[in-house]
Amino acid sequence: FLAGCIASLVGLFATGEYQVVETLVRQRRGGPTVRGPPSCELVLPGWASAAIGLVSPTTLWAGFLLFPLRFFVVALTTSIWYFDASAESGGHHPASAHARRAPVRTALRLAFSRSFGSLCYSALVLTICSMLKAMAEKMMRQSDNLFVVLVACCLKCVLQVIEFLNKFAVCM
């Protein structure tokens, strides 16, 4: 899925054409504007810009899906190993025998079947948090207003708490 999204982005950028544009350079603050050297600019058709706006967040979401998947598989494999109490007590539970023999396969089967929707939702939350965090950092860099910087800082703190809770919701 991720490879398909990346291929779509490459194909959409290939529909554009390069145009030579003249650049205007301002000498100093308040000074005259003069012509600079010509430069090349990629111009996309309107439909391609809209498609890139749709495919880019989808690609980001597919990339963020790998993090909860990895965390889920590692957490479940570790818990199967750690909570293997039947091996110590001598009792054999038939349902856990298969999980003890192949814990990684069991974790992968659960990750891609019963828990896949939860992991996709977790990746969506991570994607939204990442996009909001990037917007907050951009606001902090570009703004001279103290109120805007404080709001962006508080937003980043709230997003970090959401990401922290999201991580532990995956392993539950």
Q: What torsion, rounded to 10 degrees, do the Cα atoms 164, 126, 76, 1 define?
A: -170
Closest CA to 72 of 29, 116, 37: 116
Q: In the prediction, which pLDDT does 15 show?
A: 67
Q: Is residue 28 very low, low, confident or very high in pLDDT (cuts 50, 70, 90)?
A: low
Distance of alpha carbon 161 from alpha carbon 153, whole angstroms: 13
Distance of alpha carbon 106 from alpha carbon 104, whole angstroms: 5
Q: In the prediction, which pLDDT does 171 show?
A: 77
Give the residue-averaged pLDDT of 93-121: 82
**Would the pLDDT of 125 be above 90?**
yes
Q: Is residue 33 very low, low, confident or very high in pLDDT (cuts 50, 70, 90)?
A: low
DSSP assignment string, the chain: -HHHHHHHHHHHHHT-EEEEE--EEE-STT--EEE---EEEEE--HHHHHHHHHHHHHHHHHHHHHHHHHHHHHHHHHHHHHT-HHHHHS---HHHHHHHH-HHHHHHHHHTTTTHHHHHHHHHHHHHHHHHHHHHHHHHHH---HHHHHHHHHHHHHHHHHHHHHHHHHH-
**Would the pLDDT of 154 be above 90?**
yes
Q: Which of 11-20, 29-38, 144-153 has the highest mean pLDDT?
A: 144-153
What is the average pLDDT score of the chain?
A: 79
**Would the pLDDT of 22 be above 60?**
no
Q: In the prediction, which pLDDT does 21 show?
A: 57
Give the residue-averaged pLDDT of 50-55: 78
Distance of alpha carbon 105 from alpha carbon 111, whole angstroms: 10
**Would the pLDDT of 112 be above 80?**
yes
130 compared with 42, residue with greater pLDDT: 130
Q: Is residue 124 very low, low, confident or very high in pLDDT (cuts 50, 70, 90)?
A: very high
Q: In the prediction, which pLDDT does 114 show?
A: 92
